Structure 1
Amino acid sequence: MPAKCVMVLGTSSGAGKSWVSTALCRWYARQGYKVAPFKAQNMSNNARVVNTRQSSVTEFSNADQASGEIGSAQYFQALAANAEPNVNMNPVLLKPEADTRSQVILLGKVNTELSTMSWRERSEKIWPHIQQSLDYLIAENDVLVIEGAGSPAEINLMASDIVNLRVARYANAQCILITDIDRGGAFAHLYGTWALLPKPDQQRIKGFLLNKFRGDPTLLAPAPEQLKSLTGIPIIGTIPMLFNHGLPEEDGIFDERTLDRKAGALKVAVLVYPRISNLDEFQPLKNITDLELIWARQPSSLEDVDWIILPGSKQTSADLAWLKQCGFERVIEKHIQRGKMVLGICGGLQMLGQVLHDPFNIDGAATGLGHLAIQTTFAKDKQVNKITVRFGQVKGLWSALSYLEVFGYEIHHGKSSHKTADNEKQALMAQEIIADLAWQNSLGNVLGIYIHGLFEDPAVIKSLFGKEAKTLDTVFNNLADLIGHHIPKETLLSLVE
């Protein structure tokens, strides 16, 4: 029997679609259903490496095409559903490279032709692939939890929509419309979104959901009944404001209000450059007690921090230029001279090196920060791999990682290698501790690595911080418990039975 489809739509971006979809994946899985997530098109620089061999499209069956990219939200939703993540769950991923340009990932792989097309032009070319992925997942599962994007009622985009209403119609989905009540205007958002939908699509909405509620629930009356009288649709639940739930945020940057200022805590600062990527991998640091995670948007944020992390970047050379222009270069150098810890991940590793070469006009050539004696050359083909490797001997402040086996993933164009030292200072910055993947300086306080997801490895958390990591299963179960507590069980079951 084909899967029943439940779709989570939102009145806006950030309403809570991703985490509610994740919670529903685990809730339905706990009822004994075979569950999978789906989002037709995601726009994010937070991506994960998954299997392409489970694709509905045979063109990705070759061994050299075994890995591809999907949005991180669908990756975590798949884990919540107890399903193996694969490219069908997010057939189209847009990775912004500039304000008016995105790299298009189709079924896990970069598609250069689509990347050069306008949004409306490429929609019809993309839709057949979305259909194929939907058909595949519907045939293979009992329940499909579908996440929408932004709002389904953007009337300037509706004619070219391939994420919201078109998917809901094709999958015959039962829809929930969620809104962020903490922003204010929630009832107007719900009514306005519903009112702008075509009549047949209004009938797909089976319930409204209020998210991020703080205060006295009795103050909501009489609005829920008035809204139902206007639309015929009930409010099926009111979800309280939930800070520190343990799931990476939809767009990576955590709400500053949720960051605990902890006296005496280890202070870890992550640089927030304009094209930052893969921020979701730092959620485990936020879950650690006695650690304060700081988002550094200006050099003053780096005062008195213990660690500086240069994260991944979708446009390394441009973000490196921004970093220098804003004055981070001098502050990072002083931090290193004081013997404090610096970590560069992927694009951050490349920035810490001597030079960036770009013979194919992929990213842009640049001079690096010069703290690791490596050079990076951007290649035409992107490295997209799951990876399990073992550290060699690691010196100094990072020595806890010595000989540790770790798992993670690679997503990068650049290939880095040792650069012949021009002087004695550079000669001290060249120790390779994982072949082609990780280097550190002679003082042992600067580490650069291509592996994303390092802090999601419990062994790494235990070695570096002496802490037991909160497991993802615990996070998923807590979210499912929350949904189950605030939405009646019979309502959730009625959506799929």
Structure 2
Amino acid sequence: MGDGHGAAEEARVSGLLVAGTTSDAGKSVVTTALCRAFARRGVRVAPYKAQNMSNNSMVCHGPDGRPAEIGRAQWVQALAARAVPEPAMNPVLLKPGSDRRSHAVLMGHSAGDVSSSNWENGRRHLAGAAHAAFDDLAGRYDVLVAEGAGSPAEINLRAGDYVNMGLARHAGMPVVVVGDIDRGGVFAAMYGTVALLEPADQDLIAGFVVNKFRGDHGLLRPGLDDLERITGRRVFGTLPWDPGLWLDSEDALDLEGRRADGEAALRVAVVRLPRVSNFTDVDALGLEPGLDVVFASGPRDVADADLVVLPGTRSTLADLAWLRSRGLDAAITEHVRRGRPLLGICGGFQMLGRTVTDPEGVEAAPGSSAEGLGLLDVRTDFTAEKTLRLPEGEALGAPASGYEIHHGRVTVGAGAEEFLGGARSGNVFGTMWHGSLEGDAFRAAFLDRTLGHGPSGTEFAAARERRMDLLADLAERYLDVDALLELAREGAPAELPLLGQEFAR
């Protein structure tokens, strides 16, 4: 089960790996919280995730000044760390296009596809690049807070792992395991995670963090004491459930609406495409008072909406077919016929045009094509070359900015006018700019024009900062941050007990 990375243990760096018992256990939350808490102490800290599998990404600048693409979660964690986001913080980004194939982004730029059939060979190449990026970051920052992926106890994948224990072994880095108690079974999951690992991996598991606890901590304490006694490892704290903690999401596991208070709220229906990407585009709408943001998957869900949003997608043609199979195409067309506004973003915008073609097989089979919804006079042609931009401009009388990540090339016809890298006709708006609604001035102008929703004074960037500070405040109160920082600097304790070796062979 070893991976040959142990030789680097003698050159241990100051860092901490935040692993999880499962996906969505809270790794991103804890990593973000520690980045901000360490930064508050004057530590030069940076986030890192060797491999992220997500269709939520962001554009930053690479060391050569060119635009580059990284996972949205690492971009946010860099802000929490008060560091400049860069590709080395997420050297490998896999963007799923189907159950068996993902588009690979290596150090911020397209690197072809990785499929289940070439997974092992592909990972060896990616592992070397990921660990080189980690070593580079480690030479420029005091402490790295690395986020794992899934669970480190996926023993069927351990031989090629470079994201969890493979990374920890590469760097001689201690590991804390996060468990989501809200799901139930957290004690068994934490013990089992350690027990399934080989001895050299167990030597780096320093302790645990419990996430999403609700209720009387006195009832939890006996279980924590037993976990510490049985495993010989410390519980570094218990983070409580807090509804104000939502951050820019990494994936669709926590895709939920943002509900407004009161019955008079305007309803925003965001179509929940199967391969949705960059759905953080609507986060800013969720912060607006008086807007009720819900995710829609059927015609009924959009029937009474005041505004419909078609978000981005990793597979425009496949999700366009899904839209039609559910009757959402007719429901959206009826919504527009009734004079109500519609906003399409990136792939969602491309669906609103006359045709979508993929001659080179970028997202679908070569030569694939389909008619769009015909609500905008545009056509989209997919090409292998990927566009990464950080554009700025003006729309609806307000300054606007965003970021572009796409393969599709859009041609605007005479029946539409240009709009934020896209097109507009009447109350139908289409843009290629992700993140444009995060701009307070543009968002206010758009909502006023489409919904008569007056300026609320909501400042999105300030709200994000408050959420990161809230995370750090909770970490300071409920976790032993000083002990975790010392752990990152000093490494895992010596002679940790070995668990469950009847399983780890």
Report whether the alignment pairs 1:78 with 2:88: no
CA contact (8 A) 1:9 1:149 kept: yes
SS in structure 1 of the partner of residue 418 of structure 2: strand
Percentage of identical aligned residues: 42
Name the structure 1 match of 2:57: 47
Report whether the alignment pairs 1:482 with 2:474: yes
Task: Report Cα offsets for 1:78-120 as digits up to 9, x if no partner.
Answer: 1111111111011111100111111111111111265696211
User: How many Å separate the matches in 1 of 2:98 and 2:347?
Assistant: 16
Structure 2 residue identity aligned to 1:194 = V
Residue 378 of structure 1 deviates from its aligned partner by 1.1
Q: Residues 456 and 128 of structure 1: is their aligned pair in 2 closer, same or farther, counting only changes over 3 Å?
A: same
User: How many Å separate the matches in 2 of 1:433 and 1:166?
Assistant: 46
Residue 296 of structure 1 deviates from its aligned partner by 0.5
Residue 449 of structure 1 deviates from its aligned partner by 0.5
TM-score (norm. length: structure 1): 0.90
SS in structure 2 of the partner of residue 118 of structure 1: helix
SS in structure 2 of the partner of residue 98 of structure 1: coil
Task: Report Cα offsets for 1:370-413 as digits up to 9, x if no partner.
Answer: 0001111112201011111222xxxxxxxxxx232211100111
Name the structure 1 match of 2:380: 376
TM-score (norm. length: structure 2): 0.88
Aligned length: 465
Name the structure 1 match of 2:36: 26
User: How many Å separate the matches in 1 of 2:221 and 2:358?
Assistant: 61
SS in structure 2 of the partner of residue 323 of structure 1: helix
Name the structure 2 match of 1:183: 183
Name the structure 2 match of 1:389: 393
CA contact (8 A) 2:173 2:488 kept: no
Structure 2 counterparts to residues 95-494 of structure 1, below 5 A = 95-112=95-112, 114=114, 118-252=118-252, 254=254, 256=256, 259=259, 262-363=262-363, 364-391=368-395, 402-419=396-413, 429-434=415-420, 437-441=421-425, 444-463=426-445, 464=447, 465=453, 466-467=455-456, 468-470=458-460, 471=462, 472-494=464-486
CA contact (8 A) 1:438 1:449 kept: yes
Structure 2 residue identity aligned to 1:233 = R
Task: Report Cα offsets for 1:452-482 as digits up to 9, x if no partner.
Answer: 0012212223333512224222221111111
Q: 1:496 aligns with which of 454, 471, 488?
A: 488
More deviation in 345-354 or 168-177? 168-177
CA contact (8 A) 2:101 2:114 kept: no
User: How many Å separate the matches in 2 of 1:41 and 1:261?
Assistant: 38
SS in structure 1 of the partner of residue 226 of structure 2: helix
Name the structure 1 match of 2:7: none
> What RMSD in Å do the two structures reach over aligned CA positions?
1.9
Residue 253 of structure 1 deviates from its aligned partner by 5.7
Q: Residues 386 and 169 of structure 1: is their aligned pair in 2 closer, same or farther, counting only changes over 3 Å?
A: same
Name the structure 1 match of 2:497: none
User: How many Å separate the matches in 2 of 1:121 and 1:155?
Assistant: 18
User: How many Å separate the matches in 2 of 1:286 and 1:162?
Assistant: 36
Q: Residues 469 and 113 of structure 1: is their aligned pair in 2 closer, same or farther, counting only changes over 3 Å?
A: closer
User: How many Å separate the matches in 2 of 1:251 and 1:292?
Assistant: 21
User: How many Å separate the matches in 2 of 1:300 and 1:338?
Assistant: 15
Residue 76 of structure 1 deviates from its aligned partner by 0.4
Residue 347 of structure 1 deviates from its aligned partner by 0.5
Q: Residues 259 and 211 of structure 1: is their aligned pair in 2 closer, same or farther, counting only changes over 3 Å?
A: farther
More deviation in 150-159 or 202-211? 202-211
User: How many Å separate the matches in 2 of 1:246 and 1:204?
Assistant: 30
CA contact (8 A) 1:246 1:283 kept: no
User: How many Å separate the matches in 1 of 2:85 and 2:321?
Assistant: 36
Structure 2 residue identity aligned to 1:458 = D
Unaligned ranges ≥5, structure 2 = 1-10, 448-452, 490-505
Which structure has the higher relative contact order (CA within 8 Å, separation 6+)?
Answer: 2
Q: Residues 253 and 269 of structure 1: is their aligned pair in 2 closer, same or farther, counting only changes over 3 Å?
A: farther
Task: Report Cα offsets for 1:341-390 as digits up to 9, x if no partner.
Answer: 10000001110001112222223311000000111111220101111122
SS in structure 2 of the partner of residue 131 of structure 1: helix
Q: Residues 246 and 257 of structure 1: is their aligned pair in 2 closer, same or farther, counting only changes over 3 Å?
A: closer
